[in-house]
Structure 1
Amino acid sequence: MTKSLNNVRFDPDTGEAVWIEEDYCSPPLAMEREVLDQYFTGLVIVEEDVTETEGWERIEKYPLLWDELKGGV
């Protein structure tokens, strides 16, 4: 989870934070929700059959969320 949140991206088209998290819980992110819900609203989980590497490659074009929050540094 730390790696995912350190590398969370910002989708400028939707205004959403996006990241990849390989998770085997049912429901997904069950253990992490208590913390995630403190910082994110409207959390949407998209389940696709891709590797974690493939998932990160799909969103690498987006800027890091933390840079966007700091003013596009």
Structure 2
Amino acid sequence: MAHRFVRATPDRDRLPELRRRLDDGEIATMRPFGSALTAALERARYDPATGEAAWVEEDYCSPPLAQERAAVLDDYFTEIRVVDPDVDPAAGWERLDDLPGLWAALDA
């Protein structure tokens, strides 16, 4: 199982739609990646220094995030990059502990 440490620039104008899709459970039903993507985006953090969202996601695609990008991510984020293609999930999230949650930061 691979976990990716991801950073991307959110499209602030489109994020309310993504939030609605997450809340409605629409993304969670996408197979095979929906539940992992939903969990990752729910926990995503916001880096005010760079203006980027960051998260750790379980992913099996080659290239990384291929299905997620085509179905969801490219609609709401730009400059999506896998910073670490095989990160320990606990260590990856720990790297983000000091950052505010994406959704709370964008509502502020």
Q: Fold match, TM over 0.5?
A: yes
Q: 1:29 to 1:48 in 2, by over 3 A?
A: closer
Question: For structure 2, which runs of at least 5 residues remain unmatched after alignment?
Answer: 1-36
- The count of aligned residue pairs is 71
- Relative distance call for 1:49 and 1:33 in structure 2 (3 A) is closer
Aligned to 1:36: 73
What secondary structure sits across from 2:65 in the alignment? coil
- Higher helix proportion, which one? 2
Moved over 3 A (4+): none
Superposed CA deviations along residues 21-67 of structure 1, whole A, max 9, x for unmatched, are 12121100011012100000111111244311110011111000101
Q: Taking structure 1 as the reference length, what is the TM-score of the superposition? A: 0.88
Q: Confirm or deny that 1:5 pairs with 2:9.
A: no
> Which residue of the other structure, out of 37, 56, 70, is the alignment partner of 1:20?
56
For structure 1, the 5+ residue unaligned runs are: none
Structure 2 SS opposite 1:42: strand
RMSD (CA atoms): 1.2
Pick aligned residue for 1:58 from 82, 95, 100:
95
Q: What letter is aligned with 1:41? A: T
Of all paired residues, the percent bearing the same amino acid is: 55
Q: Which amino acid aligns with 1:36?
A: L
TM-score by length of 2: 0.61
